[in-house]
Amino acid sequence: MRASWRRNLVLTAIAALVAAVLVYAFLPQPVPADLAEVSRGALRVTVDDEGRTRVKEVYVVSAPVAGRVLRIESHVGDQVEAGETVLATIQPTAPTFLDLRGKRQAEAAVHAAEAALQLSEAELTRAQADLEFARSDLARARKLASGDTISQKTLDNAKREFKTSEAAVAAAEATLRVKSFDLETARASLIEPGSEAVTRRDEGCCISVRAPVDGCVLRLVQESEAVIAAGAPLVEIGDPRDLEVVVDLLSRDAVRIREGAEVAIDEWGGAAAVKGRVRRIEPTGFTKVSALGIEEQRVNVIIDFTDPPERWRSLGHGYRVEAHIVVWQGEDALKVPVSALFRSGEDWAVFVVAEERARLRRVAVGHRNSVAAEVLDGLEEGERVVLYPSDRVSDGVAVTARPPG
């Protein structure tokens, strides 16, 4: 009897223990979650985008005349001095090749010029003979006029003929010089590339293009020797100590920015961010295709450095940077992490942890950035909220703080 009673007691105890284990196993467990406190502090809202540095004043040195520019010996980064440093040397271009018809025409022009020159020489000889006869005739007339043998009119006619003959000789000599120049012009049309007249250069044949300002070479537009037209760009120069940052923002972001706004510039390779200030927002936008192939309207925002040059001296022309332009900031804002916010209908909401349970609460949100949002109504400083709430978290569900790490 006593053994049966003991067996029943043991079985009863085992059944109670199993029942207790089952009840505990099926009880709802608190949901582990990351928690954060609502706090007060400084909040800054920025527009962030990539930008690039550039020299404020870039000078493009162009060819003043058409010709053959020799290979530019300067290199990118070389210092130049205004009016002293020769950036490029331009020579006259070589003549073009003549086809068969052009060559025959040029040869015919030479023969015609030679014949015209011979004709001018003959005309000069005839004029000189007339001059010699007029001189002799004048001498005889003067001798006869001294003895009153001829009239004064006859003497005057002899003088006129002499002067006319002198003028004819002078005209014939001038015509001869013109024809000789015509012959040189005709012969020049026969000069072809590679001839001695082309390869031989006089000292004053070339034009030296000099630097217009002090600075350094930023880019060689035309480095190798080539035939160029007048106005062709050759070299870009500027002062790399006078830098600015240009950021092309989406037009909807650019309208939020004001001139004079503070800027933090980082991701440029330096140890710390560099401060800047918006100098200009260009009034004209342009279309740019994004990496996803979407056309976007962009606006250039120009930023000046406000930190001493020693902090950003290693930057150069065309370097990539990250710009964070401040559009709003508050020094004592009530902040909640953005990761705690979610949409509940048309409103923003968070899960507030009170008495170890999550309570749904709608909040009014003001300015926000990628980390925190300004709370206008619905939360108090020091309250705890659930970060990244999952579908297991709902109103009234027990939650527990997830261990750090």
Q: Judge whether 6 lies within some domain.
A: no
Enumerate residues 6+ apart whose C-beta is below 8 A from 220. Answer: 72, 74, 75, 76, 234, 235, 236
Do 119 and 185 belong to one domain? Answer: yes
pLDDT band at 102 (very low <50, low <70, confident <90, very high): confident
Nearest of 41, 20, 33 to residue 394 by alpha carbon: 33
As a whole number of angstroms, the distance between CA 239 and CA 287 comes to 30
The residue out of 281, 307, 329 marking a domain boundary is 329
Predicted model pTM:
0.67
**Is the domain of 397 the same as that of 274?**
no
Mean pLDDT across the stretch 284-306? Answer: 93
**SS3 assignment, position 200:** coil
172 CB contacts (<8 Å, ≥6 apart)? 120, 123, 124, 126, 127, 128
Q: In 3-state terms, what secondary structure has residue 301?
A: strand
Least confident segment among 58-67, 189-198, 251-260, 327-336: 189-198
Q: Which of the four pLDDT bands, split at 50, 70 and 90, describes residue 62?
A: very high
Q: What is the mean pLDDT of residues 394-405?
A: 84
Taking 60 as the threshold, does the pLDDT of residue 82 lie above it? yes
Q: Strand, helix or coil at 266?
A: strand
Query: What pLDDT does residue 240 have?
Result: 87
Average pLDDT over every residue of 129-158: 81
200 located within any domain:
no
355 and 324 part of one domain: no
37: domain CATH number is 2.40.420.20
Determine, yes or no, domain membership for 12. no
pLDDT tens digits along 5-21: 666 666 676 766 666 55
Residue 126 has pLDDT above 60, yes or no: yes
Residues 253, 292, single domain; the answer is yes
Is 154 domain-assigned? yes
Q: What is the DSSP string of 134-189?
A: HHHHHHHHHHHHHTT-S-HHHHHHHHHHHHHHHHHHHHHHHHHHHHHHHHHHHHHT
Q: Can you tell me the distance from the alpha carbon of 321 to that of 53, in angstroms, rounded to the nearest whole number?
A: 7
* Section 81-101 average pLDDT: 86
Provide the residue range defining the domain that includes 232: 61-93+206-238
Arithmetic mean of pLDDT, 306-330 = 92
d(CA 25, CA 34): 24
129-134 average pLDDT score: 87
- The region of weakest confidence among 120-129, 146-155, 170-179, 336-345 is 146-155
Position 1 in a domain: no
What is the rounded CA–CA span in Å between residue 249 and residue 297? Answer: 8
**Which 3-state string (H, E, C) describes 10-62?**
HHHHHHHHHHHHHHHHHCCCCEEEEEEECEEEEEEEEEEEEEEEEECCCEEEE
Of 306, 329, 352, the residue that ends a domain is 329
Q: Which residues contact 153 (CB under 8 A, 6 or more apart)?
A: none
Q: How far apart are CA 32 and CA 11, in angstroms?
A: 37
Q: Is residue 335 part of a domain?
A: yes
Q: How many domains does the chain have?
A: 4
Query: Max CA-CA distance within the chain?
Result: 201
Asked if 129 and 71 sit in the same domain, the reply is no
What one-letter code names the amino acid at 187? Answer: R
Which domain CATH number covers 313? 2.40.30.170
Q: Is the pLDDT assigned to residue 334 strictly greater than 60?
A: yes
The answer to whether position 386 is within a domain reads: yes
Would you say residue 23 lies in a domain?
no
Predicted local distance difference test score (pLDDT) of residue 197: 52
Residues 397 and 351 in one domain: yes
User: What is the rounded average pLDDT for all residues in the chain?
Assistant: 87
Q: Mark whether 166 and 150 lie in a shared domain.
A: yes
**Is the same domain home to 257 and 323?**
yes
More confident residue, 99 or 281: 281
Q: Categorize the per-residue pLDDT at 247 as very low, low, confident or very high, splitting at 50, 70 and 90.
A: very high
